Structure 1
Amino acid sequence: MAAGLLLLVCAGALLYSAEAQDTFNELPESYKKGVDLVMEQLRSHAGVHHHFRFLRSLDKSDIESGFGVTYIYHHFYLKPTKCSKGTAVSNPQRCPFRDDRPLMDCAVCYKTAAGEIEARPMPYVHCIQKPRLTKEMRTTRVEHCKKMNYNSGAPTLLAVSTG
């Protein structure tokens, strides 16, 4: 009986892990590039000791302003994994999730041209452990992304939500 229950729990965990991977794989390429940008910054941060994996999107929006230019806003969760940052991991998406650490709440906004992230205006990335995120931080994120679009003459990115 206990072995059957353990098998059921393990199968559920495997399905949950596969679901998170499928969620990332289902993102449009332009959103994947933003998640990759965030992951790159987390990997290079000295205070981050484990790999993270994409968990799910909370809010997504994009504005096409013509000539192949799009402004993207993406708010999502990353979940820490059991794989240490210093270890050689060929595919961090295979690292099992940790349940003893809080989720990372991330927001990113950036401009793409012809599908590539542009250096100007500089992409905005903000991640913080979910319990530490304040209402003021959320407001600052949104205002920064709105300003990015107003400065370029584009319509406000956050006025249209696709997620």
Structure 2
Amino acid sequence: MVLLAFLVLLSAGVFLESSEAQEDLNTLPENYIKGVQLAEEQINSHQTIKNIFLYFKSLEKSDIDGGFGVRYLFHRFYLKATRCPKGTADPNPTECTFRNDRPLIDCGICYKTYSGEIQSEPKPYIHCIHKPQLTQDQLKTRVEYCNKMSYAPGSPSLMAVKNP
């Protein structure tokens, strides 16, 4: 009886984990996709990475229209380890299945776009860290940095804007 109860609880846990399914990257607006790709490139370029990480799920998004084709974007999302080895050409989640034995990477990025292209000035801010190591202070630092990037007298801060 105890074994049966344990198996029921275990299967419920597996169901809950798998219910946090990967969102389709292609459902994001193009400006956000470009930011995710920038973060993926940075993470996957580390020498210690053996298997690539891909976009998994958005947590927060905000967007300020700076006028004249300028936008300031903030995006917080998860990257998840896959079974595809580093160097896999054109990886996608249907071919590169996600691993459940590695922690998620929590990324917070902010950047300026002009006519849909990420600008080099101000330099895009990319902060990615394994989810278990993420602290409240690091989250606060992300917000402060991104707010400074988009601040102009009389304008709202990037973090005050509701999700699009």
TM-score (norm 2): 0.81
Q: Which residue of 2 aligns with 1:3?
A: none
Q: Is the alpha carbon distance of 1:115 and 1:26 closer, same or farther for their aligned partners in structure 2, counting shifts above 3 Å?
A: same
Q: Which residue of 2 aligns with 1:90?
A: 90
- Rounded Cα–Cα distance in structure 2 between residues aligned with 1:103 and 1:44: 17
AA of the residue aligned to 1:27: L
CA-CA distance at 1:128 after TM superposition: 0.5
Q: Distance in 2 between matches of 1:98 and 1:154?
A: 42
Pairwise CA RMSD of aligned residues? 2.2
Query: Residue 70 of structure 1: SS of its match in structure 2?
Result: strand
Identity of aligned residues (%): 50
- Shift in Å, 1:152: 8.7
Q: CA deviation at 1:114?
A: 0.1
The answer on whether the counterparts of 1:52 and 1:92 sit within 8 Å (CA) in structure 2 is no
The 2-side partners of 1:40 and 1:152 are apart by: 34
CA distance in 1, matches of 2:51, 2:74: 25
**Take 2:154 and 2:30, find their aligned partners in 1: how far apart are those partners?**
24
Partner residue of 1:27? Answer: 28
What CA distance in whole angstroms lies between the structure 2 residues aligned with 1:109 and 1:153?
20
2:43 equivalent to 1:47: no
Stretches of structure 2 that go unaligned for 5 or more consecutive residues are 1-14
> Which protein has the bigger helix share?
1
Q: Distance in 2 between matches of 1:28 and 1:44?
A: 25
Aligned length: 147
Unaligned runs of at least 5 residues, structure 1: 1-11
More deviation, 27-36/37-46: 37-46
Structure 2 partner of 1:60: 61
CA distance in 2, matches of 1:115, 1:153: 24
2:3 matched to which residue of 1? Answer: none
Q: Which residue of structure 2 aligns with residue 124 of structure 1?
A: 125
Partner of 1:148: 149
- Shift of the 161–49 alpha-carbon distance from structure 1 to 2, 3 Å rule, reads farther
